A and B are shown apart, each in its own frame.
Chain A
């Protein structure tokens, strides 16, 4: 197969959580451009329908499923509806997640409920979606799962508790899924996005890319090609891997990018 064809997803079905806005919406458009049919899921149906309209404008096909990815019954229903409508699921894109109430608070003030909700939202949700889709994929002997983690899944952050813990869990969940279900034909990988601001306040805050080595923040559409690559045959050799897309942030030590000049000296 010629290389460009390996990046195509024609006729495939992607179940994409968190598809109503931000990175999820951007990925929905890229999936449609690559030829996939998109089952978009999130809590807010109106946002999903806007995403589906944008997909349709590009000549793609998308359906919208209101769900709660922290609720096993809702996840079962989401998967069943996708298979009912499209007949199959080739790709699970575990994108839903986000900051939780209590993030940024001192640990002593964190309530048990806040901790559980943050872990449920960012880790348990991805396990539930994978667990529910996997029997379908292993039965067919093929499938791709992509989890979305964060740079905070690989490094710590000040007063950042549930999010760092859950996202680190996602990175290692990815590895065990790859090792366990690889023999059944299912590849699992993970994307660790850096700063992708998508509210006016966040856009303003990250203008000029302060603290980001390449000098700018990410733009949502940049998630699409990476998601398509990891979903397609082009990444056949990659499994269990987490790919950071962060403008060079994780390769650096904090905001320090440059060493002063130090000359090679002769022994004295």
Chain B
């Protein structure tokens, strides 16, 4: 019997994490995790379209500054604003990213709209806004992106959700439910596109440094950090590195949720 010899990665024998030639669309690039993901992908060689689900002058400035950072890394880029509740807007965003940058390989759904309030203070329109940004957006973007990815038979879709998708915290009902929905979406789509070369995975992120409403409140930060083994919050850059790990994967990881939470969910 001949001895088994492993086959080296045929695409990149020297560096499994090199993304040169790949094109990514990062949605939520105005938020800390989206920004870090876009920069990490660009540092690893990908061209990156940066998008936001929110209109507004400040948001446009934030997203444009990420585009500039990608440009300074020598990678092609484009900045896009879209409305996740409008199918035409989603299709146009995917079309713009893939036409301006030549293809589309990687979609990172990192838009983050944290809301914390007792449920009796949430109106149906509040729910709709929270679900639109946190659940409908990722679903519609994945759907539109996969139509383009199918052409190359290659796609990496990475959905970023909060740890609240898996653990209960009072006053986070709509936000948590939307993110738990994204985890179910991740598993279901992983099967739907299993034979199309498109993997769908999720990163379940703990309260991170600078997170709006959570990680930017000193008292909340101290309280969360105390219970983490490392005694400090996860950094947006750590999520960006994990995004790169999944984006560069060979395609055997799919339907999986990876906690990037400094062991917050590992303990009782």
Q: A residues engaging B (CB < 8 A)?
A: 2-4, 6-7, 21-22, 25-26, 29-30, 33, 50, 54, 174-175, 178-183, 194, 198-200, 213-215, 218-222, 224-226, 228-229, 233-241, 243-248, 250-252, 257-258
- The one of B16, B231, B265 that contacts A225, using a Cβ cutoff of 8 Å: B16
- The one of B6, B238, B267 that contacts A220, using a Cβ cutoff of 8 Å: B6
- The one of B14, B16, B195, B253 that contacts A245, using a Cβ cutoff of 8 Å: B253
Q: Are A251 and B191 in contact, with the CB atoms below 8 A?
A: yes
Question: Which residue in chain A gives the minimum CB-CB distance to B15?
Answer: A4
Residues of B within 8 Å of A25, CB to CB, are 4, 6
Shortest C-beta distance, B115 to chain A (Å), equals 24
A226 to B3 Cα, complex, angstroms = 24
Q: Which of B57-65, B173-181, B254-262 contacts A (4 or more CB under 8 A)?
A: B254-262
Report 24 cross-chain contacts, Cβ distance below 8 Å, ordered by A residue. A4-B15, A4-B18, A29-B8, A30-B16, A175-B266, A175-B267, A182-B263, A198-B4, A199-B4, A213-B191, A214-B194, A214-B252, A218-B252, A220-B4, A226-B249, A226-B253, A237-B261, A238-B261, A238-B262, A239-B230, A243-B256, A247-B252, A250-B256, A257-B191
Question: Which residue in chain B gives the minimum CB-CB distance to A30?
Answer: B16
A216 to B182 Cα, complex, angstroms = 26
A170 to B245 Cα, complex, angstroms = 23
With contacts A3-B244, A215-B195 taken as known, whether A237 is within 8 angstroms of B256 at the C-beta atoms is: no
Interface size (B, Cβ < 8 Å)? 59
Q: Are A221 and B9 in contact, with the CB atoms below 8 A?
A: yes
With contacts A198-B4, A251-B256 taken as known, whether A215 is within 8 angstroms of B194 at the C-beta atoms is: yes
Residues of A within 8 Å of B9, CB to CB, are 221-222, 224-225
A229 to B239 Cα, complex, angstroms = 13
Q: Are B252 and A222 in contact, with the CB atoms below 8 A?
A: yes
Residues of B within 8 Å of A239, CB to CB, are 229-230, 262-263, 266
- B251 adjacent to chain A (CB < 8 Å): yes
With contacts A213-B194, A241-B259, A248-B191 taken as known, whether A3 is within 8 angstroms of B254 at the C-beta atoms is: no
**A237-B241, A251-B254 are known contacts; what are 8 more A-B pairs with Cβ within 8 Å?**
A215-B194, A234-B242, A238-B242, A238-B261, A239-B262, A243-B256, A248-B255, A251-B255
Name B136-151 residues within 8 Å CB distance of A: none
- B134 adjacent to chain A (CB < 8 Å): no
With contacts A22-B4, A228-B16 taken as known, whether A237 is within 8 angstroms of B43 at the C-beta atoms is: no
A214 to B255 Cα, complex, angstroms = 10
With contacts A3-B44, A240-B266 taken as known, whether A250 is within 8 angstroms of B4 at the C-beta atoms is: no
Q: Are B256 and A225 in contact, with the CB atoms below 8 A?
A: no
- B170 adjacent to chain A (CB < 8 Å): no
- The one of A6, A174, A219, A248 that contacts B7, using a Cβ cutoff of 8 Å: A219
- The one of A175, A194, A237 that contacts B239, using a Cβ cutoff of 8 Å: A237
A246 to B260 Cα, complex, angstroms = 20
- B240 adjacent to chain A (CB < 8 Å): yes
Most buried by B among A183, A198, A214: A214
Q: B residues engaging A (CB < 8 A)?
A: 1, 3-9, 14-18, 39-41, 43-45, 186-187, 190-191, 194-195, 199, 205-206, 228-231, 234-235, 238-242, 244-245, 248-256, 258-263, 265-267
A190 to B228 Cα, complex, angstroms = 18
- The one of B41, B240, B244, B266 that contacts A179, using a Cβ cutoff of 8 Å: B266
Residues of B within 8 Å of A180, CB to CB, are 229
A266 to B98 Cα, complex, angstroms = 38
Q: Are B191 and A235 in contact, with the CB atoms below 8 A?
A: no
A24 to B94 Cα, complex, angstroms = 41
Residues of A within 8 Å of B255, CB to CB, are 213, 248, 250-252
Residues of A within 8 Å of B239, CB to CB, are 237
Residues of A within 8 Å of B190, CB to CB, are 213, 248, 251
Question: Which residue in chain A gives the minimum CB-CB distance to B189?
Answer: A251
- The one of B3, B7, B191, B252 that contacts A194, using a Cβ cutoff of 8 Å: B252
Q: Are A221 and B266 in contact, with the CB atoms below 8 A?
A: no
A60 to B75 Cα, complex, angstroms = 32
A225 to B251 Cα, complex, angstroms = 12
Residues of B within 8 Å of A4, CB to CB, are 15, 17-18, 43-45
With contacts A4-B18, A219-B6, A252-B255 taken as known, whether A237 is within 8 angstroms of B191 at the C-beta atoms is: no
Shortest C-beta distance, A40 to chain B (Å), equals 14
Residues of B within 8 Å of A219, CB to CB, are 6-7, 250, 252
A228 to B18 Cα, complex, angstroms = 14
With contacts A219-B6, A246-B252 taken as known, whether A238 is within 8 angstroms of B16 at the C-beta atoms is: no
- The one of A179, A235, A244 that contacts B245, using a Cβ cutoff of 8 Å: A235
A121 to B44 Cα, complex, angstroms = 39
Q: Are A214 and B251 in contact, with the CB atoms below 8 A?
A: yes
Residues of A within 8 Å of B1, CB to CB, are 200
Residues of B within 8 Å of A200, CB to CB, are 1
